[in-house]
Amino acid sequence: MNNFEPVIGLEVHIQLNTETKIFCSCPNSFGDEPNTNICPVCVGLPGVLPVFNQRVLDLGIAVSLGLNCRIAKEFIFERKNYFYPDLPKDYQISQYMVPLGSDGFIEINSRKIKIKRVHMEEDAGKLIHTQNGSLVDFNRAGVPLLEIVSEPDIFSAQEAYQYLNELKLTIQYIGASSCDMEKGFLRCDANVSLRRQGDKELGVKVEVKNMNSFKAVRDALSYEIKRQANVLSKGGRIYQETRLWEENKQKTIVMRSKEEAHDYRYFPEPDLVRFFVSDSQIENAEQSLPELPPAKRKKFREFYKLREKDSEVLISNPKAAAFFEQACRNRDDFQNIANWVIGPLQEALNTSSIGFEEAKIKPADLLKIIDMVADGGLNNIAAKNVLAEVVNTGGDISEIVEKKNLRQVSDESSLEEFARQAIEESPKAVKDFYSGKENAIMFLVGVVMRKSKGRANPKIVKGVIERRLKNAQS
Ligand SMILES: [Zn+2]
């Protein structure tokens, strides 16, 4: 294994979140009744003409720029011909000779991984296999895709994993796709070959398909690298083929060999005109790009001065990062706010199984909770209680605190009675305390916290108990 270096290239398809399909006005929406979002254009009936959706070009340019690509000033579409039951026209309208974007890169671990091309194309339909035969749903036919192809410039399974995460994040910040793999909005195929350390020439490449998560891509590549190294070190040879990742068995199996590879007979799509992209169009797109992960990381490090780990957690979720940044306006306790967003707020969201996008809480609400905890109006337990409610329902924080009777009890007189009861009911803890086990006092504090239903101020409780125990002793 040590004698070989893996070389990996990735081919990613993302589904663009436009309102309508790429060449007709059918809705681009997921999960509808089969064959309801179709028309003569997207099912390829005779005599129809495609009309290019301008929004696809806008998103394509934005993603290409976000991936540091050069934009083609003019382009055409081409027909990629093949027969498959989910492809009604028997060809897919795609881009071949001149892709929309080319020569880009994604930076991982201070290294630029080259991106060869970004091109626009239409999706095919979807086959659904049942016991009584196969059915086809054309709702997805004509949905706009971007295909993003890296150069064979990735040298480990882990690096492939990082590349995919950064690619997804970039697209999510641009807002071009949710990249939800479970819905098929992001699909990834990988090419992997091995060569002897120091060799310039690439080895025979194997294509791996059928990975349903970034982790599966990493696992499949790790497996395939080991398999190929094993074959080569025994003097065997690698065949150019397509292999499928079998998640259950954690191995790849042969799907088809090179002999069966397609010849797509590309030719220019005669039903669409040649398209031109002006300099001002590119300039405008560049100016309207949002802040992307590399710039965000720099800002989170240099301006907010967050711990790197916390910064990564926030940036990996664009909605969480936006929430954090809104909360930081007119404040300077950035790390404290980050702790609350990543800690108690994220916990409350997890408990309710909702994401930042569905949560009803506003940044101002979180700040109010933070400030109430700081000035003693709420303790941490009560704060979590309030968060659990406000993420689901929204509403005024003060009202929720009053309604749920959560205001922290800090005045000593109200706590005296709880402390008296706790001491009376816990002779063992009292004995332990007198015999020098200072920690026994925390047990008593816990009893008071329960009795006060979590509302007592634990610091003050501790003082009250300590004083009572010492007075009783003297
Ligand atoms: Zn249609």
Alpha-carbon torsion (352, 356, 359, 360), positive or negative: positive
How much distance in Å is there from the Cα of 373 to the middle of ligand 1?
A: 55
What pLDDT was estimated at residue 398?
86
How much distance in Å is there from the Cα of 20 to the middle of ligand 1?
A: 9
How much distance in Å is there from the Cα of 25 to the middle of ligand 1?
A: 6
Higher pLDDT, 460 or 69: 69
State the pTM of this model. Answer: 0.86
How much distance in Å is there from the Cα of 28 to the middle of ligand 1?
A: 9
Q: Where are the alpha helices (DSSP H) in 210-362?
A: 214-233, 279-287, 293-302, 308-315, 318-327, 334-340, 346-351
Strand partners for 118: 101, 148
How much distance in Å is there from the Cα of 326 to the middle of ligand 1?
A: 40
Is the pLDDT score of 473 beyond 80? no
How much distance in Å is there from the Cα of 465 to the middle of ligand 1?
A: 74
What pLDDT was estimated at residue 395?
84
Give the confidence band of 104 by pLDDT, cuts at 50, 70, 90. very high
Q: Compute the average pLDDT of residues 126-130.
A: 94
How much distance in Å is there from the Cα of 21 to the middle of ligand 1?
A: 7
Q: Where are the domains of the chain?
A: 4-281, 291-403, 412-473
Is the pLDDT score of 434 beyond 70? yes
Give residue-wise pLDDT tens across range 218-250.
999 999 999 999 999 999 999 999 999 999 999
What pLDDT was estimated at residue 459?
84
**DSSP per-residue string spanning 40-99:** TTTTT-TT------HHHHHHHHHHHHHTTPEEPSEE--EEEE---TT-TTSEEEE--SS-
Architecture of domain 412-473: Orthogonal Bundle (1.10)
Give the confidence band of 260 by pLDDT, cuts at 50, 70, 90. low
Give backbone dihedrals phi and psi of 68, rounded to 5 degrees, phi first: 60, 30
pLDDT cut 90: percent of the chain above it: 80
How much distance in Å is there from the Cα of 289 to the middle of ligand 1?
A: 30
How much distance in Å is there from the Cα of 246 to the middle of ligand 1?
A: 34
Residues lining ion ligand 1 (Cβ < 5 A) are 24, 26, 39, 41-42
Give the confidence band of 325 by pLDDT, cuts at 50, 70, 90. very high
Give residue-wise pLDDT tens across range 15-30.
999 999 999 999 999 9
Is the pLDDT score of 404 beyond 90? no
**Cα 286 versus chain centre, distance:** 23
State the chain's maximal CA–CA distance in angstroms. Answer: 102
- The full 3-state SS of 110-171, as one line of letters, equals CEEEEEEEEEEEECCCEEEEECCEEEEECCCCCCEEEEEEECCCECCHHHHHHHHHHHHHHH
How much distance in Å is there from the Cα of 386 to the middle of ligand 1?
A: 48
